[in-house]
Chain A
Amino acid sequence: MVFSEKFINSDNLFQSMKIHKFITDTIKMGKKGQITIPKIIRDEDSFNEGDTLNITNMPGGDIILQKKHAPTADDKLFEFLEKMPKINWRKAWEEIKAERKQEHR
């Protein structure tokens, strides 16, 4: 599995560690690698049937399961801006300053 740079650099993991209870449990793997997330964890993190999870295999063998959140309004804004052409804000701002000064005269 390829490491996701976004995941490693994000504060999400550390944020969730601060907010949620630290819970540890032992589970058994079933057929075809199926596992059940204990109810106490499902309740704590509001995991529901049909939710999508990200799975990350960390160096050293630890595996992290992370609930995939719906994009926030910020995410939507920045995703949109990624698609926009660069406008050279410095030049645009210089033009505006000149226009403001011209109107002042």
Chain B
Amino acid sequence: MNYCADTWFLLKLFDREIKAQELFRRLETKKDRIIVSYVTYGETFKKLFQRGCKESDIESFFILIENTNKVQLIPFDKEIARESAKVSLTFHVPLIDACVAATAKIMACEILLSGDSDFDILAKRKYLKVQSW
């Protein structure tokens, strides 16, 4: 199963939220993976930094999640940028949401892990499935 994680999931994981940890532990390295867009990476980095985390700790967090081989960081490229523009215009969602959704779509993720209600319209129109709790 391919998941795409929004900043929502990474913040929960960092804050040791039980369900986020359970989902992460359940993933099997050869079958499952979590895609994280560079946009999500940047947004999470900024928010953790704003909330007083040390830069070295935030870097360690991302290194450690990548070391599990369950997480893959995806650079923002032209294809994702084009898709993001279309998503933003079609569904009238903020560009950052659109970048996350476009990354999920292009990387063939079955589920987007996000608690952002802006994604409801995308799920309703079957652009992608969203899981939150």
Contacts and interface: CB of A to CB of B under 8 A. Distances in A.
Contacts, number: 75
A49 interface: no
Q: Is the interface of B mostly helix, strand, loop or mixed?
A: helix
B93 interface: yes
A103 B123 CA distance: 22
A96 interface: yes
Q: How large is the interface on A (under 10, 10 to 19, 20 to 34, 35 or more residues)?
A: 20 to 34
Contacts of A92: 11, 47-48, 51
A29 to B, nearest CB: 39
B115 A80 contact: no
A87 B48 contact: yes
B14 A84 contact: yes
A89 B64 contact: no
Contact of A73 (B64, B93, B94): B64
A1 to B, nearest CB: 28
B69 interface: yes
B55 interface: no
A97 B11 CA distance: 13
Contact of B8 (A93, A101, A103, A104): A93
A87 B61 contact: no
A74 B11 contact: no
A62 interface: no
